[in-house]
Chain A
């Protein structure tokens, strides 16, 4: 098993609605690509901050009709960070894991792949992993991506 990419990063709320893409080289065709992806924290625990963000959102999207109870914001707690991960090989898009979990394991094999991804050949060349930051609600957020390549057992 070979380590193809390891990155750690920290973002803050200004990174909401942005993408971070890592381009990296895979020197030879690989049987299986394994990706460990994690980020923390998941939830915004500070209730006053959550209330401010939720009330702003309710106002922006027309959800703060007069007469609503002042506790309506609680319907939307807890606010969550949401990062998703997508993969492009040198030739084609290989899929996206649009899921809420803060720890995710993905793999791409030649005849099967974990949910969200397409099985197939793993050509040598420049690959891309993109983290889409749909929501960063906490003041800071730390993430890690670890990509491993695995040759066929008989190789």
Chain B
């Protein structure tokens, strides 16, 4: 059984330059209806000294992480609790850093790759040489509050799409880069992690959350939850987000997209309207329908899917008085 967990994957405390304690941050996350966070302070993990106590107190799993706040890029590492020395790595050495993250069982993601760089925001623009994009586990394609209307995010989203078109399977996530909480904060995005939850247990959720990101079982949204699965027509098996369909014949695919406006409904406002629901691939838009802004399930047919490489769902409409991309799924891949 796949369960979708609303998470925030990029946070800071006063152990670096955030304003919260870990307890205050987690309380704010609970208040926003989140069910998991990653703790990613700049170059330190000291906020995690009482990780277990805070998890127990709030019943919210915390993924151990760090933001490598370097001179040539900011790299998020998740699922790592041992220090890996970023200070010795030059602009052409990031693969050595990623290798050490993987060796520790963790994953590595590029934070806000197009935020303006030094000396305005030091190291914020990604300038490390990537020799092999297969080694990058994820990209934060949406960053800060109201990310989908921000140009930095749109550049990152376009880079991710280009990498998908080149055949790389990289997960896309949002990250608030959460330093402070104010009553008048504009809307944050949420990264939903699809985790297998047979036992309905919170125990070990951090590890399963990291696995979800590693495998691309991720959907990103400004509010409603958008998910999908695909089936080869005439067969029972369902392929979920992040999975790969091995196509051997030119059978048409049917893709079922689910829009859920009930999950976390108290935390965003989606007015009645017609929304645009798209299936996209490297060939562009494969299918487009208008749907109402309410919970529903829509089945779209994809003719001649061979060679498309990937498909994802995208939802557009009006939120916070802006016409924007409201949500997108990570791809289902086709080989």
Contact = CB atoms under 8 A, between A and B. Distances in A.
Given A116-B46, A118-B49, A98 B120 contact: no
Contacts of A92: 83
Interface string A95-132: 11111100000000000010111110000000000101
Which of B49, B114, B116 has its CB near the most chain A CB atoms (within 10 A)?
B116
A82 B43 CA distance: 14
Contact of B122 (A19, A58, A118, A135): A135
B182 interface: no
Contacts of A35: none
| A76, A96, A134, A135: residue with the most chain B Cβ atoms closer than 10 Å | A96
Contact of A57 (B16, B42, B116, B123): B116
Given A60-B117, A61-B117, A99-B17, A86 B46 contact: no
Interface residues of B, number: 28
A84 B43 contact: yes
Nearest to B116: A61
B125 interface: yes
A19 B87 contact: yes
Given A17-B71, A134-B123, A96 B116 contact: no
A137 interface: yes
Contacts of B198: none
A86 B66 CA distance: 15
B41 interface: yes
A1 to B, nearest CB: 24
Nearest to B124: A61
Contacts of B41: 98, 116
Tell me which of A19, A84, A117 has the highest count of chain B C-beta atoms within 10 A of its own C-beta: A84
Given A115-B15, A116-B16, A130-B87, A96 B42 contact: yes
A103 to B, nearest CB: 15
Interface residues of A, number: 36
A60 B87 CA distance: 24
A133 B289 CA distance: 52
Contacts of B122: 82, 134-135
Contact of B44 (A53, A116, A130, A134): A116
A116 B46 CA distance: 5
A100 B118 CA distance: 15
A38 interface: no
A54 B43 CA distance: 26
A16 B16 contact: no
Nearest to B12: A98
B87 A79 contact: no
Interface of A: 16-17, 19, 53-54, 57-58, 60-63, 76, 79-80, 82, 84, 86, 92-93, 95-100, 113, 115-119, 130, 132, 134-135, 137
7 contacts: A57-B117, A84-B43, A98-B43, A113-B46, A116-B46, A118-B49, A135-B122
Interface of B: 13-17, 41-44, 46-47, 49, 69, 71-72, 83, 85, 87, 114, 116-120, 122-123, 125, 155
Closest 8 CB pairs of A and B: A98-B42, A134-B122, A135-B119, A17-B71, A96-B43, A93-B83, A98-B16, A115-B15
Given A17-B71, A19-B87, 7 more contacts: A16-B118, A61-B117, A80-B119, A82-B119, A93-B85, A134-B71, A134-B118
